Each structure stands twice: as C-alpha cells, then as structure tokens.
Amino acid sequence: MSSLREVLAGPVLEVAPRLLGAVLTHGDVAVRLTEVEAYDGPNDPGSHAFRGRTPRNAAMFGDPGHLYVYFTYGMHHCCNVVCGPPGTPSAVLLRAGEVVRGAEIARSRRTSRSDRDLARGPARLCQALAIGLAENGADLTSGPLTLELGEQVTAVSTGPRVGLRGAPDRPWRFWESGAATVSSYRPAKRLPPAP
C-alpha cells in the first residue's frame, strides 16, 4: 500500500483520475471529490505555471501533497492538489464534490438552494470547505486539512477542461460518470465570427 505522497508524486494524468472518490477534509466538513482537472505545468498553455514561477503560483513548484490556492474574478477561490515529481509544477484542480460530513456547517457558508450544489463548482467547493489564501501551500498529510484516497472509482468520464481560452482542448477533465454533483459545463467564451 503506497502512501498518499507517493501516489501524488506520479504523473499528473495518472493522479487526476485517482483523486475521484478521495475525501478532502477541513475541520468538521468533508467533501468526496467527483470532478477534477489536470494541469501539466510547463507543457500546458492552460496552466498558471506555463510562464514560469511567480509569487502567486509558487506553491505549484513545491512538493506534491500540498495545496495551491488562488484568488480569481475578484471574489472566488479555487484550490488544486500539487502533484508530480517534486519541482514539476503540475496540479489537479478540484472542481466539484459531494459534502459527506458537516453539511450543516457547509450550508451556513453558502447561499445555495440545494445540498447538491454545496460543493458543485471549484469556487463553491472552496466556500463549503472554507478554503482561502490562508490555506495556500497547506500540507495535506498533516494538520487541519487532510486528503484521503477512497476506493478507486471505476466509472470515469473525461472531456475538455472548463473556462480556458488560448489552450488547445485536451481531455484533461475527469469526473465520476453519472455523479449528480459534477459541475455544469460552461464552454469558453465563443470567438466573434470571422469577417
């Protein structure tokens, strides 16, 4: 049986689907992951690390098994699990999951009508788990934030990533087939019609 850190140190495209079914816990709230996206560091025009290391993305260049959290759209946070061999800035964006513990608390943090939507979407997942910049770089093998691999999910679907422009479409989004909590797909803004 391999440790979490060993698994996360593998190639990002192998790690990402293995995270489906894993449970991320922060204090009293826990979320079982149903949708993730792979970001392959320097080879990936869609990755925050594509243009090298900056203060914001520094956590991606750290050891696997840590969190990379960023702030976007002036109001939302998204979180990634850093993976790949140490120093390779690869990460898996946690896009959605189902709240399996602490639903009461998660509900109080969110303005959502249904429990299904509590952690459905990357920023909602962060809200439900109270993950913000304070958690950037957090070690997932100790402390209040922990990640536990679950039973391997066998029914996995793949498709293009969400919300990206300027990156070739790569089927690097993975979700548990049929899961109710998978985020709704919003295609990237369409280009204006050619003249």
Partner DNA sequence: CCTACGATCGTCT
Partner DNA sequence: GACGATCGTAGGT
Nearest to 92 by CA among 49, 145, 154: 49
Give least dist CB 192 to DNA, A: 12
Query: Per CB under 7 A, does 109 bind DNA?
Result: no
- Residue type, position 18, single letter: R
Burial class (CB in 10 A: 0-12, 13-18, 19+), 100: middle
Among 189, 192, 193, 194, binds DNA (CB under 7 A): 189
- Alpha-carbon distance values, 156 to 3, 18, 61, 172, 173 (Å): 23, 10, 28, 12, 10
Amino acid 11 reads P
**Contact with DNA (CB under 7 A): which of 1, 75, 134, 194?**
75
CA angle 24, 28, 34 (to 5 degrees): 30
Residue 166 sits in the site that holds DNA (CB under 7 A): yes
Question: d(Cα 165, Cα 163) in Å, to the nearest integer?
Answer: 7
- Residue 183 as a binder of DNA (CB under 7 A): the answer is yes
The span of 17-25, 71-79, 99-107, 142-150 binding DNA (CB under 7 A) equals: 71-79
CA distance 127 to 78: 9
CB of 190 to DNA, least distance (A): 8
Residue with tokens 């293009």: 160
Residue placing its CB nearer to DNA in the complex, 30 or 38: 38
Candidates 8-16, 70-78, 98-106, 151-159; binding stretch for DNA (CB under 7 A): 70-78
Residue 91 binds DNA, judged by CB under 7 A: yes
Residues that bind DNA (CB under 7 A): 37, 39, 46-49, 51, 54-57, 60, 68, 71-76, 78, 80, 91, 93, 110-112, 117, 121-125, 127, 161-166, 183-184, 189
